[in-house]
């Protein structure tokens, strides 16, 4: 069941959208202010419906914070039908914009599109704790900070993150990263693992991400 967070201070509108979405099989969380939304937004949220005119922090102020906390599709709902406002919101991180008043079927269609796009994108993104690896553009962030890895370092980390609960033997890592290269030995792999750990530790010294299983191989630390 997919979960949607509604951020709308008008209780009647918020409740109306909640009932509509629940009839369509969604799980719904409701927030009536930006501050409340930041408290509710978590790893279980799949999409956000965001009103601009909110008490306290408005929609424009919190959209970047929401995206940083967990990047999910954000559909802005607003009576403001101004091109410059829309452009600014897209630059801040909004994924779509629907003008109030809207037809329920249009909103449902826009939600469907964004969740479909999210599913395609999420297949290319691997996550472990605060470590995020994007297979498509070969980027890695740790503690929300970008890290530059060499090709082989990236491949090792990707393989480990693709099998987070599995101990990967050195022979498996050799085969998948270096193939038939006869010049690769245990020391080469150990050096690469050490460099990966060092780069991760620089970005977040509070976590150990890779665990050594002595005489067997490596896995992501739980």
Q: What are the mean pLDDT values of the chain's consecutive 10-residue runs (222 residues total)?
A: 93 96 95 90 89 83 76 88 84 87 93 80 79 89 93 93 87 83 78 96 94 91 88
Boundary-marking domain end, from 83, 98, 122: 122
pLDDT at 201 (0 to 100): 95
Question: What CATH code is carried by the domain that includes residue 96?
Answer: 3.40.50.2300
- Beta strands 74-78 and 96-99: pairing type? parallel
Cα dihedral sign, 136-141-142-143: negative
Domain containing 87: what range? Answer: 3-122
Rounded CA separation 222/114 (Å): 31
* Same-domain status, 112 and 131: no
pLDDT of residue 47: 94
CB 65 within 8 A of CB 90: no
pLDDT value at position 203? Answer: 94
Which tokens in the block code for residue 165? 């609960």
Let me know whether 10 and 116 are in one domain: yes
Q: What is the pLDDT of residue 151?
A: 92
As for how many domains the chain has, the answer is: 2
Q: Are both 61 and 140 inside the same structural domain?
A: no
Same domain, 114 and 129: no
Angle between helix axes 186-203 and 170-178 (nearest 10 degrees) is 90
Question: What backbone torsions phi and psi does residue 169 show, to the nearest 5 degrees?
Answer: -70, 160
pLDDT at 119 (0 to 100): 64
Are residues 14 and 95 part of one domain? yes
Pair 198, 216 in one domain: yes
Query: Residue 8 is encoded by which pair of tokens?
Result: 């709308």
Say whether both 12 and 106 belong to one domain: yes
Which of 65, 91, 122 is at the close of a domain? 122
9 shares its domain with 88: yes
134 and 109 housed in the same domain:
no
The pair of three-digit structure tokens given for residue 139, joined into one six-digit string: 């980027």
> Of the candidates 76, 94, 122, which is a domain's last residue?
122
């Amino acid at each position: 069941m997919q979960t949607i967070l509604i951020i709308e201070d008008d209780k009647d509108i918020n409740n109306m959208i909640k009932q509509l979405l629940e009839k369509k099989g969604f799980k719904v969380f409701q927030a009536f202010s930006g501050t409340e939304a930041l408290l509710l937004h978590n790893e279980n949220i799949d999409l956000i419906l965001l009103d601009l005119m909110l008490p306290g922090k408005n929609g424009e102020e919190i959209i970047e914070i929401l995206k940083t906390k967990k990047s999910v599709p954000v559909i802005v709902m607003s009576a403001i039908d101004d091109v410059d406002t829309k452009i600014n919101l897209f630059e801040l991180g909004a994924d779509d914009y629907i003008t109030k008043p809207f037809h329920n079927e249009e909103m449902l269609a826009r939600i469907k599109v964004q969740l479909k796009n999210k599913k395609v994108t999420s297949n290319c993104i691997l996550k472990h704790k605060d470590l995020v690896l994007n297979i498509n553009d070969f980027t890695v962030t740790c503690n929300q900070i970008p890290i530059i890895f060499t090709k082989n370092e990236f491949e090792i980390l990707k393989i480990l993150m693709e099998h987070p609960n599995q101990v990967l033997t050195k022979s498996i890592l050799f085969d998948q990263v270096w193939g038939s290269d006869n010049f690769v030995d245990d020391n080469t792999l150990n050096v690469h693992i050490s460099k990966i750990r060092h780069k991760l530790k620089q970005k977040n010294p509070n976590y150990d991400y890779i665990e050594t299983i002595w005489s067997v191989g490596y896995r992501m630390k739980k």
